Amino acid sequence: MDSRITFVLMLLSSISIGIKLDGNGYVDIVIAIGSKVPQDDMLIDKIKEMVTEGSFYLYDALDEKVYFREATILVPPEWNGTDFSKARTESFGKAKIRIDNPNPSYGVEPYTNLYGECGAEGDYIHFIPEYLLNDNLIELFGSRGRVFLHEWAHVRWGVYDEYSGEKPFYHSNGRIEATRCSKNIQGQLYEVTAGGSLQQCRIDPQTSLPTEGCMFFPDRNQITNSSIMFFPGLDPVTAFCQENEHNYEAPNMQNSKCEKATWTVIFEDSEDKDTLRSLKPLQSPPPPPSFKVVQRTQRVVCLILDVSGSMGGLRILQLQQAATHFLRNIVEDQARVGIVTFSTTASTLSRLTTIDSDTTRENLIKLLPKVASGSTNMCLGLTLGLQILCEDNGDAFGDEIVFLTDGQATDNIAGCAPFAIQSGAIIHTLAFSNSAVPELTEMADKTGGIFLAPNDKITSNQLMDAFASLTLSTGDYTNEPVQLESAGTSTSDWFNGTVSVDQTVGNKTSFVIIYEISFPGIYIQSPSGLIYTQTSMSHDVSLKTVTLKVPGTAEPGDWKYSIQTTILQALTITVTSQASRDDVPPITVKTRMNQQSSDGTKPMIVFAEVSQNYRPVINADVWATLESETGSAHTIQLLDNGAGADAIKADGIYSRYFTKIVNGRSSLKVRVKNQGQTIFGLRKNSGAPYVPGYVVNGIVQLNPPKPPVSEEPLEVGSFTRTATGESFEVKLSGTTPPNFPPNRITDLSAEIQEDTVLLIWTAPGEDLDQGTAKSYEIRWSFELDMLRERFSNGHEVNTAAVSPQEAGSVEQHSFNLSFPIQNGTTLFFAVQSEDEQNAKSETSNIAQASKILPGPKPPGISNPGINLTVIVISVCVVTMVICFIVAVTTWAVKRKKPSAESKVALTL
Indicate which residues carry an active-site annotation.
151
Q: How far is Cα 409 from Cα 441, in angstroms, rounded to an integer?
A: 14
- Compute how many other C-beta atoms are within 10 angstroms of the C-beta atom of residue 81: 11
Residues in the chain: 908
Closest to 339 measured CA to CA, from 356, 321, 352:
352
* Backbone angles phi and psi of 196, in degrees to 5: 90, 10
Contact of 764 with 832, CB cutoff 8 Å? no
Contact of 844 with 748, CB cutoff 8 Å? yes
Helix, coil or strand: residue 27: strand
Helix, coil or strand: residue 323: helix
* Residue 800 DSSP class: T
Q: How far is Cα 270 from Cα 120, in angstroms, rounded to an integer?
A: 6
Helix, coil or strand: residue 562: strand
Q: How far is Cα 494 from Cα 9, in angstroms, rounded to an integer?
A: 56
Q: How far is Cα 830 from Cα 559, in angstroms, rounded to an integer?
A: 50
Strand-pair partners of 214: 191
Q: How far is Cα 834 from Cα 888, in angstroms, rounded to an integer?
A: 82
Burial code (b: 16+ CB inside 10 Å, e: under 16) for 663-699 equals bbbbbbbbbbbbeeebebbebbbbbbbbbbbbbeeee
Amino acid (one-letter) located at 907: T
Q: How far is Cα 33 from Cα 72, in angstroms, rounded to an integer?
A: 11
Closest to 615 measured CA to CA, from 579, 639, 582, 650:
650
- With residue 169 as reference, give the H or E element that holds it: strand 169-172
Peptide bond into 85 cis (omega under 30): no
Contact of 497 with 484, CB cutoff 8 Å? no
To the nearest 10°, report the CA torsion of 117, 118, 124, 128.
120
Residue ranges with strand state E in 594-713: 597-598, 604-612, 615-618, 621-628, 633-638, 653-658, 664-674, 679-680, 693-696, 699-702
Q: Rounded to 5 degrees, what angle do the CA atoms 509, 513, 515 make?
A: 170
Give me Rg for the CA atoms of the chain: 31
Q: How far is Cα 120 from Cα 157, in angstroms, rounded to an integer?
A: 6
Contact of 413 with 437, CB cutoff 8 Å? yes
Strand-pair partners of 532: 524
H helix runs in 158-272, sequence order = 253-257, 262-268
Closest to 768 measured CA to CA, from 810, 727, 808, 799:
808
- With residue 54 as reference, give the H or E element that holds it: helix 41-61
Tell me how far apart the terminal alpha carbons of the chain are, to the nearest angstrom: 74
Helix, coil or strand: residue 631: coil
* Backbone angles phi and psi of 129, in degrees to 5: -55, -40
Contact of 402 with 300, CB cutoff 8 Å? no
- Strands laid side by side in the 531-532 sheet: 494-501, 557-564, 521-525, 531-532
Residue 853: is it exposed, middle or buried by C-beta count within 10 angstroms (0-12/13-18/19+)? exposed
Strand-pair partners of 666: 628, 728
